Structure 1
Amino acid sequence: MTALPLRVLVLEDHSFQRSVAVNMLRQLGCCEVFQAADGARALEILQEVGPVDIALCDLRMEGMDGLEFFQHVGKSGLVGSIIISSSLSVDLRRAVQQIVSLLGLELLGDVGKPVQSSELEALLNKRLTACAVEFEPQSAPQLATEDEVRWALKQQQLQAYYQPKFNLLTGEVCGVEVLARWMHPLKGVVSPAVFMPVLERCGLLDELLFGQMHQALRLQQQAKVQGISLNIAFNLQAVQLSNSELTTLIKGVLAHHAAPGSGLTFELTESGLLEAPATSLESLVRLRMMGCKLSIDDFGAGFSSLQRLCQLPFNEIKLDAEFVRTLKQEPRCRAVISSTLALGESLGMSVVIEGIETQEQCEQLLELGCSQGQGYLYARPMSGPDLLRWLPISSAA
């Protein structure tokens, strides 16, 4: 048996179940295993022995329960990650998982009760892998300076990349989403994480948008020559809608390329639409009057009300990728996706599913009635020339 370099604290008030968990961990190779019957004793042990890699926690206990223990350890650094082991109902445990994350703790997993050795072993290995990655030297992306970003805009180094949207039933490309990439002359392709915060801070989002529109509309015309009709989606921030000249400028770009508004979609995240002022609402209405589609991006990730959804003139919902990512593990995700599809149909809104990465996910979504999707299973973001070369191949496939 290989010894595992993990320190584990078992927090369980039932003495027999605590003993089983401790023995199981030792059999799996954990040499340092500590145990406590409630949260108060667990805190005392942490003060005595120092930080642990994992706390295997029950939730409902006499004395200090699991929730209060989580609040105490919070961001203290005394607990590396949490494994929940509880007989509470699935919906309550799911809510506790959210609490763990909000308190700044890492949730390693939820094994329920009784604890199964195979599940526990898998989570121990997951923690070991995470530790190995943590110790690899990594550097956070350093933000570009305002002067660098302004120069990049002036030199047209911020290029439009395109991620296709698909009809899940036919495999046909039904549009593309425009993403920004910095083609740096020395550093190559630079991530948006380096320059997007600077654009937002310096009020340069409109300049980026109009630059992307000119690039994308030229590409749209080239695709049309190839016999392919592409709807092109651009990301808008809520702050941009407050510019009363926005729609006039967009109309000017469309006129310059002799392009109809019906070939464009504008995507806005729902978190930015909670309290859209009159100016923003007017901009949305004018975009629709121009024939453009409006899409709520990352739907389900924010907290907008259904009433707000009915008030705003959107005609597409993009469901957040997290629902697809956890579709297999979380039964409720199926219900959310089904409900969103039904909601879209009743409101006359199309629904696009984001984050499709596996064939299994695609098949599950088709069973639920999904018809449009986007994700790495189909295509990654690509440059304009690459997209034009790729489109005939995808059509032939």
Structure 2
Amino acid sequence: MQALPLRVLVLEDHLFQQTVAASQLKQLGCQDVFSASNGAQALEILQRVGPVDIALCDLHMEGMDGLEFLHRVARAGLVGAVILSSSLSEDVRRAARQLVPLLGLELLGDVGKPLRIDTLEALLKKHLYKPAVTSATLKPFALAGIDEVRSAMQHQQMETYFQPKINLLMGDVVGVEALTRWNHPSGEMVPPAVFMPAIESSDLLNDLFFTQLNHGLELQRQAWSRGHLLNVAFNLEPVQLSNPELVSTIKNVLYGYGLPGSTLTFELTESGLLEASATCLESLVRLRMMGCRLSIDDFGVGFSSLQRLCRLPFNEIKLDGQFVRGLDEPRCRAAISSTLALGATLGMSVVVEGIETPEQHQQLLDLGCAQGQGFLFAKPMTKQDLLVWLETRVMPDTII
């Protein structure tokens, strides 16, 4: 067995299971394996031997439990990554899985019990052979300040990409979502999470939006000339809707392209709509009066979803991709089914995000979902790539 240059701590209060876990780790070739029966004992070991790469951690035990242990080692920097191993119910473990990254620790996986050596081996290798992050990769990300972002926009480095929305029953493309990617001079494709905070904190939000809008309308016109009718969705922030001139400007841009408002969808995250101003609400109503669709994005991850649906004129729900990733869990399936039923009752279409596998696609069909998007169908692509894709794409085998 190849030696793995890993230091691993086993935190398990059941002596037999602790022994089995330590034995499997040694069998897999781990450099150093330490064992503890509770959090306090584990902390003493770490203070004596120093930090470890991975903690294989149970949650429920006498004395200092696994959660308190993780809090302490995260603050002290004594553990790099965590593998959860617990016999607690799935809903409790699911919440624990969400907690680990919030503590600043890497979650490698949740192996449950009994522990399987093949599963453990896969997680160890996942940690050991993850792609290296080089200084060249990090450089453009670290420089994403307001001045550089403004320069990037002036030099047209911000490019609009489009990700298709699919009719899950027939395989037809029902629309696309416009997304921005930064083609950095270094050759890196910088993700929105790096540059959007700078854009949102400056006066560049509308500049980016209207650049996207023009790119999307150009795509629409070219796609229509080839026989493809595409609705294009754009993300809007509530602060933009508070500008009383926004809707009239959108209307003028549409007029210049000779396109109706019904060809557009505007997506707004529910978390940004906690306090909708009078001007914001009026803008939403005027967009609907123009025939535009309004979509509440990332549905299910905020705190006031139902209130927003009742008070604001949305006609589409975009269900966050975290529910698709949890399709094997009864609660996530129930949440999806309930959202589909809610959409049908309110006369709203439901689009499910984050579909990545044929199995997820089939499960969503079984639940009655009709629209979705995700890497199973297509990743975001440039305008020219999308036009080629529309002409040459092959329907997935799972489409019925």
Q: Same fold (TM over 0.5)?
A: yes
Structure 1 residue ranges without an equivalent (≥5): none
Greater Cα shift, 34-43 or 84-93:
84-93
Q: Distance in 1 between matches of 2:207 and 2:78?
A: 47
Which residue number corresponds to residue 167 of structure 2?
A: 167
Q: Deviations over 1:166-218 (max 9, x none)?
A: 11111111111112244678858665456433322221111222222223223
Which residue number corresponds to residue 360 of structure 2?
A: 361
Post-superposition offset of 1:151: 4.8
Distance 1:172 1:51, change over 3 A: same
SS in 1 for 2:378: coil
Q: Distance in 1 between matches of 2:44 and 2:136?
A: 34
Which residue number corresponds to residue 281 of structure 2?
A: 281
Distance 1:63 1:282, change over 3 A: same
Which residue number corresponds to residue 106 of structure 1?
A: 106
Distance 1:391 1:40, change over 3 A: same
Distance 1:363 1:6, change over 3 A: same
Task: State whether residues 26 and 33 of structure 2, in contact with CA within 8 Å, keep that contact through their aligned partners in structure 1.
Answer: yes
Task: State whether residues 176 and 230 of structure 2, in contact with CA within 8 Å, keep that contact through their aligned partners in structure 1.
Answer: yes
Task: State whether residues 296 and 314 of structure 1, in contact with CA within 8 Å, keep that contact through their aligned partners in structure 2.
Answer: yes
Post-superposition offset of 1:323: 2.3
Structure 2 residue ranges without an equivalent (≥5): none
Distance 1:187 1:73, change over 3 A: closer
Greater Cα shift, 287-296 or 188-197:
188-197
Q: Deviations over 1:127-165 (max 9, x none)?
A: 2223x6358974252435545544554555544322211
Post-superposition offset of 1:293: 0.4
Q: Root-mean-square deviation (CA), in Å? A: 2.6
Task: State whether residues 270 and 305 of structure 2, in contact with CA within 8 Å, keep that contact through their aligned partners in structure 1.
Answer: no
- Code of the residue aligned with 1:313 in structure 2: it is P
Distance 1:98 1:191, change over 3 A: closer
Which residue number corresponds to residue 334 of structure 1?
A: 333
- Code of the residue aligned with 1:336 in structure 2: it is A
Post-superposition offset of 1:244: 1.7
Task: State whether residues 143 and 195 of structure 1, in contact with CA within 8 Å, keep that contact through their aligned partners in structure 2.
Answer: no
Which residue number corresponds to residue 316 of structure 1?
A: 316
Which residue number corresponds to residue 32 of structure 1?
A: 32
Which residue number corresponds to residue 48 of structure 1?
A: 48
Distance 1:390 1:26, change over 3 A: closer
If the length of structure 1 is used for normalisation, what is the TM-score?
A: 0.90
Task: State whether residues 55 and 79 of structure 1, in contact with CA within 8 Å, keep that contact through their aligned partners in structure 2.
Answer: yes
SS in 2 for 1:104: coil
SS in 1 for 2:327: coil
Task: State whether residues 237 and 272 of structure 1, in contact with CA within 8 Å, keep that contact through their aligned partners in structure 2.
Answer: yes
If the length of structure 2 is used for normalisation, what is the TM-score?
A: 0.89
Task: State whether residues 143 and 198 of structure 1, in contact with CA within 8 Å, keep that contact through their aligned partners in structure 2.
Answer: no
Task: State whether residues 293 and 316 of structure 2, in contact with CA within 8 Å, keep that contact through their aligned partners in structure 1.
Answer: yes
Q: Distance in 2 between matches of 1:66 and 1:144?
A: 38
Which residue number corresponds to residue 342 of structure 2?
A: 343
Q: Distance in 2 between matches of 1:6 and 1:395?
A: 44
Q: Distance in 2 between matches of 1:84 and 1:182?
A: 37
User: Does residue 392 in structure 1 map to residue 391 in structure 2?
Assistant: yes
Which residue number corresponds to residue 82 of structure 1?
A: 82
Post-superposition offset of 1:123: 2.0
Task: State whether residues 3 and 30 of structure 1, in contact with CA within 8 Å, keep that contact through their aligned partners in structure 2.
Answer: yes
- Code of the residue aligned with 1:359 in structure 2: it is P
SS in 1 for 2:23: helix
Q: Distance in 1 between matches of 2:320 and 2:68?
A: 31
Task: State whether residues 162 and 178 of structure 1, in contact with CA within 8 Å, keep that contact through their aligned partners in structure 2.
Answer: yes
Which residue number corresponds to residue 230 of structure 1?
A: 230
Q: Distance in 1 between matches of 2:21 and 2:283?
A: 59
Which residue number corresponds to residue 15 of structure 2?
A: 15
SS in 2 for 1:265: strand
- Code of the residue aligned with 1:166 in structure 2: it is I
Greater Cα shift, 230-239 or 159-168:
159-168
Which residue number corresponds to residue 379 of structure 2?
A: 380
Distance 1:138 1:47, change over 3 A: farther
- Code of the residue aligned with 1:316 in structure 2: it is E
Runs of 4+ with deviation above 6 angstroms: none
Equivalent pairs, count: 395
Task: State whether residues 199 and 205 of structure 1, in contact with CA within 8 Å, keep that contact through their aligned partners in structure 2.
Answer: yes
The share of aligned pairs that are identical, in percent, is: 65
Q: Distance in 2 between matches of 1:188 and 1:30?
A: 35
Post-superposition offset of 1:281: 1.8
Task: State whether residues 270 and 308 of structure 2, in contact with CA within 8 Å, keep that contact through their aligned partners in structure 1.
Answer: no
